[in-house]
């Protein structure tokens, strides 16, 4: 039986892991620079960050490390966490009435130190948002601290008119791929 270290303090990731019967032995916040590199595309960005986060955490003998990163992309543009309410309004305006992609990178470093990385993308389309809906969402505070400025597991789900792919990916951790990676690394699953 392998002990699992979660390289994330996200409560959403812990909740998602619980759905597949996994409880981390340790939770550690990795300290890395999450700034996209010049010209970096969303797929490469989340893969790089997931692996960097996994290796930023010290691993004891026999431990397996799980790290993930999720971002929202409008075309090639990476939408990070909004800096303030004005930035959140800008992001919601950009996503209004159009499709975008949610990308997640998941990295599991097994007990031997070998990394395995998977990248998952989900297509999401928002309805056209009225100024009142944007005001309502911004006032809720829910979008602050979230990639792309929204949390699909909350009020923003009322904006989604179409989703193709993994819902758990949009929440912050694609469970199908994560379960397979953890199983391959010898982590017991519920």
Where do the DSSP E strands lie in the chain? 3-6, 26-27, 63-74, 77-79, 99-109, 115-126, 160-164
| Residue 62 token pair | 């026999």
Question: What residues contact 139, with CB distance under 8 A and at least 6 apart?
Answer: none
Q: Would you tell me how many other CB atoms lie within 10 Å of the CB of residue 18?
A: 12
> Is 69 annotated in the active site?
yes
Candidates 33, 69, 87, 121; catalytic one:
69
At which residue do the structure tokens 């994330």 appear?
A: 8
What are the residue numbers of the active site? 69
């Amino acid at each position: 039986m392998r002990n699992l270290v979660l390289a994330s303090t996200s409560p959403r990731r812990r909740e998602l892991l619980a759905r597949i019967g996994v409880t981390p032995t340790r939770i550690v916040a990795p300290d890395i620079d999450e700034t996209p590199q010049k010209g970096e595309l969303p797929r490469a960005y989340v893969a790089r960050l997931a692996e960097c986060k996994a290796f930023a955490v010290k691993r004891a003998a026999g431990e397996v490390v799980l790290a993930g990163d999720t971002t929202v992309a409008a075309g090639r543009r990476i939408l990070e966490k909004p800096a303030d309410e004005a930035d959140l309004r800008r992001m919601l305006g950009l996503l209004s009435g159009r499709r975008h992609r949610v990308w997640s990178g998941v990295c599991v470093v097994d007990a031997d130190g070998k990394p395995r990385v998977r990248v998952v993308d989900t297509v999401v389309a928002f309805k056209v948002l009225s100024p009142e809906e944007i005001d309502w969402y911004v006032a809720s505070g829910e979008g602050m601290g979230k990639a792309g400025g929204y949390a699909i597991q909350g009020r923003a789900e009322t904006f989604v008119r179409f989703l193709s792919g993994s819902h758990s990916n949009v929440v912050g951790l694609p469970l199908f791929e994560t379960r397979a990676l953890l199983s391959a690394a010898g982590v017991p699953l519920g």
